[in-house]
Amino acid sequence: MATRRDPGHRDGRVRDTPYGERFTLFAEVIWIGVLVTLASLPLVTWPAAMAAGCAAVRRCVPDGPSVGTARRFAADWRRALRGGTLRGTAGLASLAFLAADLRIAAVAGDLPGHGLLVVVCAAAGVAVVVVQLRAAAAWSEPGDAGPATLANGFAGWRRVALARSRDDLVGSVILAAAVCATAVCAWQLLLLLPLVSGVLALAAVAVERRGREEKAARTECRRHGGTVLRTGQSSSSDGSSS
């Protein structure tokens, strides 16, 4: 069976199964989800764990799953703790505040506008998680975005996440749907949390890649459109001169 090599590993060994490449990728994403869950047990380390999970997904998607996933995940997690822990603390405090508001709305059922309060608090909680996922995916991105986010600490995490969420609203909505689906799965059966965590990291990376490809396509269209416009203007000028 043909296998793909991971250029980031020394001996190029890869994990493979007799069930095909897609099942192997599925198993790797589940393993990444288990690692993300274990690294998120202190709660405030969840953003760093998700950033390391997104980095692991980026490695296995183009080159196939490889050995050493846990070791490289741990190294990425330690690097992402710089700035990620503070961001996790801020996000956890925001979610705790929103949960307290939801509790008040649930207890005071006759409070005027309590239904609207529940909707607003739930939407705000999902938005907080989406911004965290955006920052995690941006940290793991190859090139300038990831190192810049890491170097600037908490300010870099926040700036990049808010910019990505604002510039790609469709992608943010897709991530919000993924967060809601994850919450429903975990609410129905808590044991599913390690499984859906890896899928959530995969969704964050996929949304970032989708946004980058759409941006490149729009830039290419504008460039070709400008070229066609200049060509048309030049032809019109030549016709007028003649």
| Structure-block tokens of residue 223 | 């460039």
State yes or no: pLDDT of 93 exceeds 50.
yes
State yes or no: pLDDT of 68 exceeds 90.
no
Most confident of 7-16, 137-146, 174-183, 212-221: 174-183
For residues 150 and 189, the model is more confident at 189
How far does the chain reach from its first CA to its final CA, in angstroms?
A: 67
Contact 67, 13 (CB under 8 A): yes
State yes or no: pLDDT of 20 exceeds 60.
no
CB atoms within 10 A of CB 103: 11
Axis-axis angle for helices 114-139, 153-167 (nearest 10): 110
